[in-house]
Structure 1
Amino acid sequence: MLKKISIFALLTVMLVTLISACGNGNNNTSEQASSAPASSAESASASASAEPKKKDVTIRVFQFKVEIRDALEKMAQEYEKETGVKVEIETHGGGEDYSALLKATLAAGEEPEIITSAGSAGFDPYVDRAVDLSNETWAKDLVEASKAQISRDGKLLGLPMNLEAYAFTYNKDLFAQAGITDLPQTLDEFEVMVKKLKDAGITPFALTNEWWSMGIHTLNIAIANQPDPEAWIEEVKAGTKTFKDDPIMKQWLRLVDIMFANGQEKAITVDYNTQVAEFAAGKGAMIQHGNWIQGNVDAVDPNLNLGMMPVPLLDKPNVFTGVPSNWVVNNKSAHPEEAKAFLNWMVTSETGKKFISTDFKFVPSLNSITPNPEAIGKIAGDFAVFSQAKPDQVKGWQWDRFPDGITQQWGAAMQEYLGKQINGDQLLEKFDKAVSDIVKK
């Protein structure tokens, strides 16, 4: 069970450190993170500490972070050059149901050496496949709060790869163009702000039809705002509380209605990649995503003036943070030891650390990897400033406390609501039905 201050405080410390480095004009961190790969002697030493060179070995990685697909494949090529071990990257994300694809792959008898998983309940289906990584050399360097959601019975069963935060990422220049000088603190102020954008001829939101964005991140805004999210979730699973009768859900519906009524035309046809590309091109003032879109945005316009706007729902606006991806070594695969060696290389070698901090644009989950302020960008930087000033308004990711399969049904219901096929009451009823259907099984 995560304590309230756990991951929020630690992520804040890491990000604030970056902002301080930038503000002081200290370029050493950036230069180190962006430096060329280690010399052949250093690389050989790092590889040797992981495992002796092997030839004619292929390990397969099954993962869902579409933002790092290209960089991850380049890193795999570097690993093969150094060790002779080939790494095949298979990326599934965006509109695909990653969890369903992974389960189907495993059911078909295919066993990738490394699978990526969410934490908490989302990890439960894969516990029996997970190799204990507690004694790996890098385990002691993990941000402490990142471990709980991937640990069972005191054993670390995966590598938490990075930390992320989200709220409304917004275009500061478009806000200025509309005469918006203060960020909204309430839903009423939020509605006024949206109208100002529209009156200035600016589309307020870049929306998407992606089930995971709406069924996970959007809905989490309401769940995380519960006074005690964990207790509330347990009551919902037990059937003693419901989405339909919850007053916070009623406020959340108003927020969603404002978003859905003020996006681009035919948002029901817009996938994630198109959504982010349109936002990066200035076709929307806000997007409900976090620092993970920085690389995609930079590919379109690296000079876009972005920030992270807390989401106003109740009495205080909030941002949301957690560990999005855990790398699990599959004990049923052909080469689990080689997979462990690859993970070790990725987080301890200079080449691997450079990819994580710079090419992936990650806020690392390991204290031994120095984040690159220039790479993580303005979105994460804005979050760091906010979370330092208002740590009580940083909330967690709660969706993985529900059994697998529920968020997919929530996302499908949100797609219906975006498409105006159901009303608000029916949407909340579908949320409750998704829980009862899965929990009863």
Structure 2
Amino acid sequence: MKLKRAWKGIAAALGVGMMVSAMGACGAGGADGSKTTLTFLSWNNEQVMRPYIDQFEQENPGIKVDFSYSPPTPEYIQTLQTRLVGNQAPDVFIITSENKADLIKNGYVRDLTNEPFMRNISQANKDFVSHQGKVYGMSVSSWASGIVYNKDLLAKAGAKEVPQTWDGFLQLCKKLKAAGVTPFLETIADGPSRIPDAFMGSQFDRDKVDVTSLIDRRPQKPGSDQREAAAAWMKLYDQGLVTRDTVGISGDDMKTQFINGQVAMICTGPWDLPSIGQAGLKYGMAPMPLMEKGMVNYAQGSPSPAYAIYSHLKGDKLKAAQKFLTFMDGHWALQRSADNGDAITVQGFKAKVKPEYEQVYRTNVQPGHYFLLMNFYAKPDVLTTVRQSETQQLVQGSISLDQWAKAIDDKMASVK
């Protein structure tokens, strides 16, 4: 299947962990010893990016990096847009879910499909920033969520690990509840559940859907597309296995309850593992259960935002920008990012992750078996907002699943 969290947690995961920046070139070092100046717009601050800049300049003494910063996500996108339309475009910049459609449509980003530095990039990372068979960005890392579980609490239901199938997961929740243990908790306050996205990835894989084509479909129908996955997920609430109060529980609240031993399982990503580990719990992290037996396992997850080159660069400017992307795809930069917590997905690079994350990394991250709804539909900002509000009503029981899907589709059809 071709393939920042959109809310607070995703933004955290794609901050320091994903190391996405932007830069460009202006003239090459000439015979008089002058240097090429590369404009570099990043949504990571200078403290984060300075080691990369210094190393790049050391390896390329004829190039000087002109760094600028704007924080993610709305402020960065507005800053970039202002510079693009004002003829002050950075030479390399970030392309991601919220801006890729506009950048590609308006011809601001260079086609990187056949660039040498793209050869080892994971197909899932390419699909993330692809349109009509062309790749417009270089993404070098990814994240995937999973089920974090308290081993001691699972033992009260006679279980050692999380079941591989959704039916098995639901049965485990029932056993835990019968044993007086709160089985599972997720947050709907910070964003829609992660589980339907995981199920949707498996569903699209089963149906051989080219996810890079979803953005071109008219009308956009993400509600209808995810109805099957959402129906399976809602069994948690329909069977009384999870409190409907999740609409008011934040990600931090969820993590705190888990750390305090108040709940057996939560759904989260690698960003929460350090603090959970510091609590001294006996815990593990398992891949998302399969919606149906026989499917390919997918998690909710996403590639990191990608580096894009301004489409109008030529000559020495273009060469310098290409050198920067080549550097960021090289061993030094990848190792630095891995040391900072990135799950590197570049082929040939051996990444080391936390032991608890290893199974999810191998099952989902390395093969690119992850899916994030907002990455593949038009107007992801609108989609995120409407899906959030409608999902809260669905969980509270104030609308039906059909009403949920229709409300999302109607909203997407109303925007241009």
Task: Write the letter of the residue equivalent to 2:100.
Answer: F
Q: Does 2:330 match 1:348?
A: yes
| Kept in 1: contact 2:184–2:241 (CA 8 A) | no
Kindly state the Cα deviation for residue 159 of structure 1 after the two structures are TM-superposed. Answer: 0.8
2:41 is aligned with 1:60: yes
Aligned counterpart for 2:349 among listed residues 366, 369, 373 = 369
Identify if the C-alpha distance between structure 1 residues 245 and 338 changes in structure 2 by more than 3 Å, giving closer, same or farther.
closer
CA distance in 2, matches of 1:241, 1:81: 46
Please state how far the C-alpha of 1:430 moved relative to its aligned partner.
1.7
CA distance in 2 between counterparts of 1:222 and 1:153 reads 22
Deviates more, 1:226-235 or 1:194-203: 226-235
Partner of 1:251: 231
Aligned residue number for residue 360 of structure 1: 341
Matching residue of 2:102: 125
**Partner of 1:288: helix, strand, or coil?**
strand
Aligned counterpart, 1:406: 383
More helix by percentage: 1
1:72-106 deviation digits (Å, cap 9, x = unpaired)? 865413134443746455443xxxxx4x5554444
Equivalent pair of 2:157/2:179 in contact (CA under 8 Å): yes
C-alpha distance in 1, partners of 2:264/2:326? 41
Q: Secondary structure at the match of 1:209?
A: coil
Q: CA deviation at 1:167?
A: 3.9
- Counterpart of 2:329, as a letter, is V
Say which SS state the counterpart of residue 163 (structure 1) adopts.
Answer: strand
Match of 1:433 in 2: 410
Pair 262,402 (structure 1): closer, same or farther in 2 beyond 3 Å:
same
Amino acid at match of 2:375: D
Deviation at 1:213, TM superposition (A): 4.4
**Aligned counterparts, 1:42-441, within 5 A:** 59-62=40-43, 74-82=47-55, 83=57, 85=65, 87-88=67-68, 90-92=70-72, 98=73, 101-109=75-83, 113-118=92-97, 123-127=100-104, 128-134=107-113, 137-144=116-123, 146-152=125-131, 155-181=134-160, 183-184=162-163, 187-210=166-189, 212-214=191-193, 218-222=196-200, 224-225=202-203, 227-228=206-207, 230=209, 248-249=228-229, 251-257=231-237, 262-263=242-243, 266-276=245-255, 278-280=257-259, 282-291=261-270, 293-295=272-274, 297-298=276-277, 300-301=278-279, 304-316=282-294, 318-320=297-299, 323-329=302-308, 331=310, 341-350=323-332, 352-362=333-343, 364-372=344-352, 375-382=353-360, 384=362, 396-397=371-372, 399-404=374-379, 405-438=382-415, 441=416
Deviations 1:391-414 (A, max 9, x none): 9xx675565332223343212211
Q: Distance in 1 between matches of 2:221 and 2:51?
A: 52
Question: What is the CA deviation profile of residues 204-225 of structure 1, one whole-angstrom value per residue up to 9, with x for unaligned ones?
Answer: 33322355443x7634524642
Deviations 1:119-151 (A, max 9, x none): xx9732222222344565532222345324424
| Secondary structure, counterpart of 1:159 in structure 2 | coil
1:2 is aligned to: 2
Output the CA distance in 1 between the equivalents of 2:108 and 2:143: 26
Contact 1:56 1:85 in 2 (8 A): yes
Q: Deviations over 1:172-216 (max 9, x none)?
A: 3431244224644655543331133334443333322355443x7
Specify whether residues 437 and 251 from structure 1 end up closer, same or farther in structure 2 by C-alpha distance, changes over 3 A only: same
Normalising by structure 1, report the TM-score.
0.64
For residues 282-310 of structure 1, what are the alpha-carbon distances to aligned partners after superposition, in whole Å with 9 as ceiling and x for unaligned? 44332223445445544x44775312143
Give, as a single letter, the amino acid of the residue that structure 2 aligns with 1:408: T
State the number of aligned residues: 366
Deviation, 1:273, is 4.5
Task: Output the aligned Cα RMSD.
Answer: 4.7
8 Å CA contact retained: 1:205, 1:262: yes
C-alpha distance 242-320 of structure 1, shift in aligned 2 (>3 A):
closer
For the residues of structure 1 that align with 2:186 and 2:159, how far apart are their CA atoms?
21
Structure 2: tracts of 5 or more residues without a match: 4-28, 58-63
Per the alignment, residue 27 of structure 1 pairs with none
Q: Distance in 2 between matches of 1:275 and 1:79?
A: 35
Aligned-partner residue type, residue 207 of structure 1: E
Q: Unaligned 5+ residue runs, structure 1?
A: 4-47, 64-71, 93-97
Distance 2:214 2:168 in 1: 33
- 1:42 paired residue number: none
Structure 1 residues 344 and 75, CA gap change in structure 2 (3 angstroms): farther
CA distance in 2, matches of 1:188, 1:348: 43
Tell me, what secondary structure is at the counterpart of 1:158?
coil
Q: Distance in 2 between matches of 1:57 and 1:266?
A: 50
Verify the 8 A CA contact 1:190 1:312 in the aligned structure 2.
no
Q: Decide whether the 8 Å contact of 2:184 with 2:265 is kept in 1.
A: yes
